[in-house]
Amino acid sequence: MRRNILWAMAALAVSAGPASASTVLNVSIEDMARLSKFVVVGKVVGQQGGVHEDNGIETSVSLRVIDSFKGTARAGTTLVFHTRGGEHDGVISHAVGDAVFKTGQIYLVFIEEIDGRLYNVGLSTGIWDVRSGQPRTFVRTLQDGLVLVGDDQLENGPIPYTEMRGRVRFTATHPQFENQVLQTTFGTRR
């Protein structure tokens, strides 16, 4: 069974019109971490368009891990996950509101597993730019055309690096979802 929650709430993760908007459930950083198999900071080292038999055109994103907040990925390893849309054999498909990555840039990425494949969580809501400076911070990289559903206030940052890492790691010992829709759907983290 396909369990793409935030985005697999078929009733909520729908297109609001032809290529005009995508809708996702707005959840806290902690709930996004609970949904994720991996939460990592990494540098995009490659992108490759391809076709998935059910999802159509997707992009495989290769991320060289710098730091892992959740999951078994270790610094120096490469983690490959997928985004909706991309380019394959001259055909371009755009998933409104999904993340846009730049090769060579560093991001914090929340990654979930769906049917054995890895995807960024919540279209562009699960992608954060890493800002240098003292302290290093994260700023969410929301894309145009994304409509958020829910009462939670969306945190866009900047959020200090150590605070974000602590909030993600907190969920390992506190697995209960805060969001009522997620509680009803999953009970505790998956």
pLDDT at 69: 98
- Hey, which CATH number is domain 15-186, 3.30.930.10, 2.40.110.10, 3.40.640.10, 2.40.50.120? 2.40.50.120
The pTM for the full model equals 0.85
Could you identify the residue written with the tokens 């994720």? 36
For the chain, how far is it from start to end, CA to CA, in angstroms? 13
Burial class (CB in 10 A: 0-12, 13-18, 19+), 79: buried
Looking at 9-13, 26-30, 173-177, which range is the least confident one?
9-13
For the cut 90, the answer to whether the pLDDT of residue 58 exceeds it is no
Q: Span 8-17, mean pLDDT?
A: 37
Res. 73 pLDDT band, cuts 50 70 90: very high
Q: How far is CA 167 from CA 30, 39, 91, 149, in A?
A: 6, 11, 40, 22
